[in-house]
Amino acid sequence: MVKIAKLFGYTLFFILALMYFTPKVALYYFAEMQLKPMSVIINDEKVIDNGFSLSIKDSTITFKAIESAKIQTIDLVFFGLYNKVKIEGVTLASTAASLVPTKVQSIELSYHIFNPFNVSAIAVGDFGEAQAQVSILDKALQVDLQPSKLMNKEYRATLKNLKKTKDGGYEYAKNF
């Protein structure tokens, strides 16, 4: 029994040490290079390795040379079995103001090994609250939106493009 406990302890220590000493900043810059051919560029960011997580502060996202969003913080936590990306303080470009409110308080993406073919997301902003599910296997996106009063009042044209649900919310589904 003691040998099993030691084996488990050493294995856990090895996995935690591997996660702690992984060059997360280098992996971030590698991922940034993979986005470049898709015309997505992240500028002016401060990248901070926090041991078990990675923080990106004050970044600007440009898409096809057009400034699309400013983000205050992005926290990336990768544990293998459970991975989470938390984005806070998003301000969309003024060009999006005719379609949706431009302030997003938080977005949280999560992926875990117990549901390996789905990525979940929860977003809260001036638009209301949205929950999304991306099915990697089915190549499908499902978004459920509970719109805010601002969204109901000033962005009716956008809501007309979504399907109204029985509970007063809206849903959007797309296969890609």
**What's the predicted TM-score (pTM) here?**
0.87
Q: How far from 100 is each of 126, 132, 155, CA to CA, in Å?
A: 9, 17, 7
Tens of pLDDT, residue by residue over 93-103, are: 988 888 899 99
Domain of 156 in residue numbering reads as 2-175
- The answer to whether the beta carbons of residues 60 and 46 sit under 8 Å apart is no
User: What's the total number of domains in the chain?
Assistant: 1
Tens of pLDDT, residue by residue over 7-65, are: 999 999 998 898 889 899 999 999 999 999 999 999 999 999 998 999 999 999 999 98
